[in-house]
């Protein structure tokens, strides 16, 4: 592809080429002005500017028409082709067909959302977009915006917010919490009483060196600590621990409903008012109207809604 001298083009108002093409089509300053919805004096000034810049008369009056000079005639074809190509580029809608798309989608998650979404998202992509591959990673709230900015992520799903104008977001759902335990290890009644909840040994998910883990902020707000005896960075590890040991855990209700029954665990409401941030999708503003991104975001939202209904059925059954 031929290189472009941007500085050279910067000194030339490309709107002059639009005026030149109109003059070529109409061979009249008056009619060209009407076509471009400008006054005749403005069009005459534009023609004068073109003559100075191109060092040629370009159009000479012959009777009632303006006839092009050889220089204008030579320019007419390339100028019209360039304008047509530019117009096509500006109005083109990028084609997107999930069935034929080939790309890697990079997703960042809060850990619990990844477990809720990725299995079903991967299955949906294999059905509808087999050429799309997923690369997901856990992302801390403070890192999500930086990773979206530098292109490391296409979409972040979790306890994130679009705190700056260069990002867009969509609310997905409010989070709730549930206790889960193995009734064969802990023969306790449901709903769990507050005194029992505070006294019973807990296993929690943590991504820091705090035993209070992901609940630390919510517990600090109400001035409470739990009796945590084990903590892990993996939700499935914590659920397996609760299935094997006489401990309870507190996890997001959606996950408790979906995975608790698979481990033979019983659900109970949390006897404390613990506030958690809502779950949302966040993406870079430059991808807001990208057809692939729009399709992916709709798919993510639909899967999470469907997963919630399935989790409710499992919990009820």
Average of per-residue pLDDT across 250-275: 91
Residue 243: both structure tokens together: 């299935």
Rounded to whole angstroms, how far apart are CA atoms 7 and 84?
23
The CA-based angle 28-34-39, given to 5 degrees, is 95
| Mean pLDDT over each residue of the chain, to the nearest integer | 87
Q: Which of 186-190, 258-262, 290-294, 303-307 shows the lowest mean pLDDT across its residues?
A: 303-307
Could you tell me the pLDDT band of residue 315, with boundaries at 50, 70 and 90? low
pLDDT above 90 as % of the chain: 53
Is residue 206 over pLDDT 60?
yes
Position 233 pLDDT exceeds 60: yes
More confident residue, 2 or 140: 140
- State pTM to two decimals: 0.67
In which band, very low, low, confident or very high, does the pLDDT at 87 lie, cut at 50, 70 and 90? confident
pLDDT value at position 31? Answer: 94
What pLDDT is recorded for position 216? Answer: 77
Q: Is the pLDDT of residue 25 over 90?
A: yes
pLDDT of residue 226: 87
Task: Determine contact, residues 261/255, Cβ cutoff 8 Å.
Answer: no
pLDDT score recorded for residue 36: 93
Whether 165 has a pLDDT exceeding 90, the answer reads no
The domains of the chain, with CATH numbers, are 6-91 (1.10.10.10), 103-175+278-316 (3.40.190.10), 177-269 (3.40.190.10)
**Contacts of 166 by beta carbon, 8 Å cutoff, 6+ apart:** 149, 284, 285
232: helix, strand or coil: strand
Residue 56 has what pLDDT? Answer: 94
pLDDT tens per residue across span 88-139: 877 766 678 999 999 899 999 887 788 889 999 999 999 999 999 999 988 8
CA atoms within 13 A on the CB side of 106: 13
How far is C-alpha 140 from the geometric centre of its chain's CA atoms?
17
Using pLDDT thresholds of 50, 70 and 90, give the confidence band for residue 143: confident
- The band of 9, judged by pLDDT with boundaries at 50, 70 and 90, is low
Please write the tens of the pLDDT for every residue from 34-86: 999 999 999 999 999 999 989 999 999 998 889 999 999 999 999 999 998 88
Q: Is 63 helix (H, G, I), strand (E, B) or coil?
A: coil
Q: What is the pLDDT of residue 311?
A: 59
Q: 158: pLDDT confidence band, cut at 50, 70 and 90?
A: confident
């Amino acid at each position: 592809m031929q290189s472009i001298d941007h500085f050279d083009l910067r000194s030339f108002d490309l709107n002059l080429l639009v005026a030149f093409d109109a003059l070529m089509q109409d061979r009249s300053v008056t009619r060209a002005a009407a076509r471009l919805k400008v006054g005749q004096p403005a069009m005459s000034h534009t023609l004068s500017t073109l003559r100075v810049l191109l060092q040629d008369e370009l159009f000479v009056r012959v009777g009632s028409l303006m006839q092009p000079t050889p220089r204008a005639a030579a320019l007419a074809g390339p100028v019209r082709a360039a304008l047509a190509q530019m117009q096509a580029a500006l109005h083109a809608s990028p084609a997107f067909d999930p069935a034929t798309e080939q790309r890697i989608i990079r997703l960042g998650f809060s850990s619990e959302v990844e477990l809720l979404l990725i299995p079903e998202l991967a299955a949906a992509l294999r059905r509808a977009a087999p050429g799309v591959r997923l690369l997901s990673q856990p992302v801390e709230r403070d890192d999500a915006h930086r990773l979206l900015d530098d292109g490391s992520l296409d979409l972040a799903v979790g306890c994130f917010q679009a705190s700056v104008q260069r990002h867009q977001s969509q609310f997905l759902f409010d989070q709730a919490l549930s206790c889960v335990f193995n009734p064969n290890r802990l023969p306790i009644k449901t709903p769990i009483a507050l005194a029992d909840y505070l006294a019973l040994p807990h296993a929690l998910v943590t991504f820091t060196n705090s035993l209070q883990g992901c609940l630390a902020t919510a517990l600090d707000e109400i001035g409470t600590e739990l009796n945590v005896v084990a903590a892990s960075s993996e939700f499935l590890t914590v659920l397996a621990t609760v299935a094997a040991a006489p401990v309870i855990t507190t996890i997001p209700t959606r996950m408790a409903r979906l995975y608790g029954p698979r481990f033979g665990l019983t659900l109970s409401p949390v006897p404390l008012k613990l506030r958690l941030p809502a779950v949302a999708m966040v993406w870079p503003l430059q991808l807001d109207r990208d057809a692939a991104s729009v399709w992916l975001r709709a798919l993510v939202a639909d899967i999470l809604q469907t997963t919630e209904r399935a989790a409710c059925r499992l919990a009820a059954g």
